[in-house]
Each structure stands twice: as C-alpha cells, then as structure tokens.
A and B are shown apart, each in its own frame.
Chain A
C-alpha cells in the first residue's frame, strides 16, 4: 500500500491481532468499510488470562475482551462471528465467506492464528482430555478441573506450565510430562528453565523430563497415561499443550508464500502487497538475526496489528519491534525480550531477594536479549529499561550489568 487507504479493509481472524487491527484503524481515523471475520462465537479477546485468571475463576469471558465495551456496531466494524473465509480471489480482490456473502477488499489482513497440535497416540479421544487455545476451551477446562483429582499435563511449555500452576492452585495433583531435557526449552535460556523447574517442584508438581508417552487409557474417560518406560500414571484429566499449527490453508490455496506460517516482508505484506499477515500465523524475518521467525505472543499480536494499521494509513516505517514475552505462574513471573539465542555470552545479574536477570550480549558487548525471573512483577522495571538498552544498541559494561548495585537506568543516558 502506498498513501492512505480509503477502500474496504477486510480482516480474516477475530482474535487479538485481528481485533486490534480493526480497533486501531478506527482509533486512528480510518472511516471506510471495515469487515472483521472470526470463526469463534466471541468478540475479539486476549489470550493470557485463559490459562490463569479464567481457570482460577478470577476472570470471566467479558474480562478477556479486547475492547471491554465490545461495541463493534458503534465503531461501524462489520463483525461476522462463527464465520470463516472459504475462498480468496486475489485478482478480483474478493473473499467468499462461509455464510455465502462476498466481501470486497482493497487491503486484506490475514490474522488466522493457529490450531492446537493434537496427540496422535491411542486414547487421544477419551473424555477428560483437554486442549487450551480458545475461550471456549478455557471455560470447559475450568469446569472440568473443578472436580479433578489428578491432572496430567502433556507438554512442559508455557501453556502446559501455566495450566499446571492453575490446577495446583485449584487443588489438583499435577504431573507435567516433557519430551526434552528441560522446561520450555524452545524459548527459555537454561538457567530460567531451571528456576521454573524449581518453582513447580516447590509447588508440588511431579515433573518428568525426557518423557515419552505411549498411550492414554480409560474405558470412556481417561484413567491413565502409559509411558514408554512402562510406567502407568493414573489420572482423571489430561491437558495437552504441545504447540500450535499455524492456519495457512487459505494463504496456501491462494498462492501466497508460506513456510512455518504466512511469509511477509518488512511491512508485514505477503507476496501480494494488498495482503498482510499478522499475529501467530505471521512468519517474518527477524531484523536482529535475519532468520524466519513466528511469534506466538501477546506483544507480537499487539505490535503487528498496530503496525499494519499505521501502514495502511500511510506510515512507511518498517516493522521494528523487539520480541517480548512473559508468563505468570503461581506468584512468580518470567519475562524475556530480544533474541537471547543470538547471544555470544550471558551475564548473570543476581539479586538477593529471589529474582534474577540474565543479559545476553553479542561478541561486541551489545545487548541482544534479556531474560528474568522473580516474584510478582519485580523484574518488569529492569526488563523495560533493558528493552531500551537493546534499542540503543551501544556496547555496555559487562561488570556493571553483573553488579545489582549498579543501576541500569543511568546506562540509558550514558
């Protein structure tokens, strides 16, 4: 797109990123036709509370809504719920919807998200086996966990661990089964994995690493998980959190480039410049590492949505946003920003009151990532300062970073 868009905008996917794009377009003054299409029955909502406050009963569906007023009619956003896009005609710039209607677009935003990866082992269809991706999933899981005794969580990633934390707080016995040799290994630096492991162990979770599962057993309801070692874990609930598969089908059948997601350029445009992809389904080149990456985070959904709204309204700035992620479990929180995996070495900044920061530096002592773990939001302030230190890009003094008595904020002005 160049210049300010006037024609119709269509957004496929009414999750966080799709919903935020629509809201941001209106907020920034776009007055043209705006169609938002979502398969679920809920207005756009944020996902972080699903595995935490919603399971614990501290939040209900409306508390998760992206726009708490949920007044899409008032904003003149044509919201189609329980509806999907079945065909995309890029030449005519039209979308055919499952309700039979045809939508014209000048710009199309694909915010199609992902679907949970499912178990393929025997017993995966037993009652009492849950997945968690949607508000509907979370509501069903909350009801189910209320009278559960022993819940086995398959997958030691963030969804699994947050569910484990909530289930423990609801009084369930919990086992976590993880295939690799540490928790959340795909995302977390090793020391943070270990803190997380200790946190769950202290809270009474039975964690099994390098654990292979053979099958689920039960007559109607799930009654046990059988491991390849032959061990049998009896249980009455199973929650599976083994990742998502990006929803790329519509893009693929329309000839858009895909990899592990829908591929986009620095403006989040696909190989058809009238079509953007954002959120969990978007695969873009990391400005820091130049490798293709896909981010399943709140921050990414928010930032990419805002970027597209700005771009449609004539702002030519490329998408530049630090990857950022947090997870709350029990009374602790971990956060991660930047690209710790791109680091040449890591500096530990220990604090005596039970929190820790890790600074991930490249070979020129420039900060490329920061991760941390601690009670409550204790590390948030330092993580925010660190984000600015990463963006500043200059070399930093490793000795100062390692010394918790040396304040970080003055380094911004150095």
Chain B
C-alpha cells in the first residue's frame, strides 16, 4: 500500500440505469495535497465525492481512502473523513453553538474533548460573535464557515468540499481559501470541487472531468506544459488595446491566428510562431486602434481545459455516429 496516497481510485464507475454518471475514473491524491476537482455541472463531480465518502455504491471499480475500501470499510472511512456538501447542511433551527455541539457529539466527542475542539474551531473561523444566532439567520459566508467548522470537529484526515464557494461573496471566498491552506499545512488532505478557475490555480493538484470522464489530472504547472496545450510552432499572446471587441474581430481574420478570446481589457491569442507583434499592431492601426500592448504568456488552466475539451469533441462525435 503506497503510504503517500490518501485517496486512490481505479476505474471508478457509476451508472444510474442507462446513464453513466462517472465513467472509469482513476486518480490518486497525495496526503497533504489540495486536490481541485473541476468540471461543468452534471459532469459527475458530486457523484465521485459521494462514492468516495461511502454513501453511494460504485457500479464498477474500486476506491480507497487511507487504505480503506469505500464499499466494504465504510465505518472506518466515516470517522476519518469530513464532508461539506454543496448546500452547507446545517440545522437552521439550531444556533451556531448548538450546530457545533451536535456535529461534535455525532462523531463521539463529549465533555472536555468536545469543548476544546469547539473552542479551537470557533477561534479559527472567528465565528465567536454569532454563537447564539440561529444558523438560518447567518449570511452565506458565515454559514459556509460554520459548515466547515462542523465538518472539522473530529479532526478528519481528508476533507471533501463540494463547491464550497458557490454563491458567496469574494471576500468570504478568499478567507475560506486562507483557511484551507492553513489546514493543508497541518497535513490534512483536501478534495475540493469548484467552478472557479482562479481557485483551481490555487490547488496543488487538479483533475478535470467532462461528460463523466476524467480528461486530465496532475499539477497545474505540469498541465500547462502539456504538448496538446502548447502545439509545436505556436505561442500565446496577451494583447491589450482600446476597443477590444472590435480588435478581436480584426485579429481573428489574420493568418496564423488559431484562437482568440477576450479577457476584460485584453484578448488572449494562440498564434503561429511566424506571427510577429508588428503585423498585429499594423492591422489594428488601420482600424484606428492604437496604444497596443503585446506580451507573450504561458497558458492558464482555463486554456488547458478548453483545449483538452475541444480535442475531445471529434471523438465524441465519432462515438455518437
């Protein structure tokens, strides 16, 4: 048993009738890492989490957490994992303090041990001022902090977070990630699903699932160096200019430009090495677009996922036919 892998799954598959929600997914998550699990809605992210938590029976394949099998050793697994679901499953009629007490007791904590752990998490999450407030009256950010505190009371080895930042404000989102890094530094393994690319960039490892299949998995920097993402003889450019949407239309029709998208005030291009900055500047100048700034950049994770998903499309069409 490799000791450095906290989560291992091999050919993990889940079918609901004729629908395959998760199709032969295999990956490993190293102890102490932050694993970002990405994919569009309905791609199978939550289904994978539920199978790993032992509450959904896989149709095929195996999964292990800390060496325990998710289908046969669910009791062992349940006491070492924490789970924070999409909806922050709190009891609205209980106060913050009571929610913490309930979840602590649920995991067998009582007396001094419970008090100590509860105080510690109240301190970490700064939720002290709201202890007597009902969970129903908390804002999204505080609800999510409370949910997180509740899922950490029993010192889990692995914490699963299913879209923890969906629908909360940017400040709360930033603070949540600060907390996650803190727990990670203490040796906890984190498994996070998200829609946000900037969150994915913060993870030590990422996996991308699309149409029930795991498309890619690895460290963000390694993924950005994949040959499929950086076709030979091409480079990526960031072009800042005025009238960026108008500029996009012009640039798209240039020879050697493979793809172009707008990012706020700038556009990102994938172009052949042969295309030089001057060509772009001249073309834009003809349309009275000046103040053009061009920089060469490395691909973002979004570029990685977009490229890999696009590469899959012909395959899918073949399957359909």
Chains A and B form a bound pair: no
Please list the residues of chain B having a beta carbon within 8 angstroms of any beta carbon in chain A: none
